[in-house]
A and B are shown apart, each in its own frame.
Chain A
Amino acid sequence: QKEVEQNSGPLSVPEGAIASLNCTYSDRGSQSFFWYRQYSGKSPELIMFIYSNGDKEDGRFTAQLNKASQYVSLLIRDSQPSDSATYLCAVSGGSYIPTFGRGTSLIVHP
């Protein structure tokens, strides 16, 4: 059973701070890693994907992948109230069927 684990939260951070979201996965053969944002009542929206170990930056977002430790994280710099949402981690391997975590709820308070 392939598992993707996320802390459900909520993670509460003040506006302007860095939010750090973490995800661990069980399948060592995983190759593709994705972060999605889902606002309440809406469908998920792709934020970033990462395939190689290390960091990948896109604007205020940085994805970090460590395959040896089987974790992937998402950093959000200069957090804004509009970043308040549930963040979903998804991982796929040889079957190419993504497995989603249950999501971490992020609250950015003014």
Chain B
Amino acid sequence: GAVVSQHPSRVICKSGTSVKIECRSLDFQATTMFWYRQFPKQSLMLMATSNEGSKATYEQGVEKDKFLINHASLTLSTLTVTSAHPEDSSFYICSAREAPGDEQYFGPGTRLTVT
């Protein structure tokens, strides 16, 4: 299957700082990337959908000024958590797909802890 990488795998930051997470499709061109958040023992929650070269579409309740998403190329999308707070601590997972309707492949996730 296709490979999606995510970096960093773990990050600990202080409250009020910003954290950037990178998501890369390594062996295919991803026209669409998705960003999810998952709290312990809960289901995946879609945060936003990002198409290359376009502004991201955020799900209801997700603050676009707090979670900045950039999809500048067909292989890279970034999520920046700005002014992070302890309640932002979660498992952030990206996924990518080549074309609409295709299967999506998930990155390994980034575990964010805000102290």
Contacts and interface: CB of A to CB of B under 8 A. Distances in A.
A36 B38 CA distance: 15
B100 A42 contact: no
Interface of B is mostly: loop
Contacts of A101: 43
A31 interface: yes
B101 A43 contact: no
B100 A96 contact: yes
Interface stretch (A13-21, A44-52, A66-74, A75-83): A44-52
30 contacts: A31-B101, A32-B101, A32-B102, A32-B103, A34-B103, A42-B108, A43-B93, A43-B107, A43-B108, A43-B109, A44-B44, A44-B95, A44-B106, A45-B106, A46-B103, A46-B104, A46-B106, A49-B103, A51-B101, A88-B43, A96-B32, A96-B100, A96-B101, A97-B46, A98-B34, A100-B44, A100-B46, A101-B43, A102-B43, A103-B43
Interface of B: 1, 32, 34, 43-44, 46, 49, 93, 95, 100-109
Interface of A: 31-32, 34, 36, 42-46, 49, 51, 88, 92, 96-98, 100-103
Given A32-B102, A97-B46, A102-B43, 20 more contacts: A32-B101, A34-B104, A36-B106, A42-B108, A43-B93, A43-B108, A44-B44, A44-B93, A44-B95, A46-B1, A46-B104, A46-B105, A88-B44, A92-B101, A96-B100, A97-B49, A98-B34, A98-B104, A100-B46, A103-B43
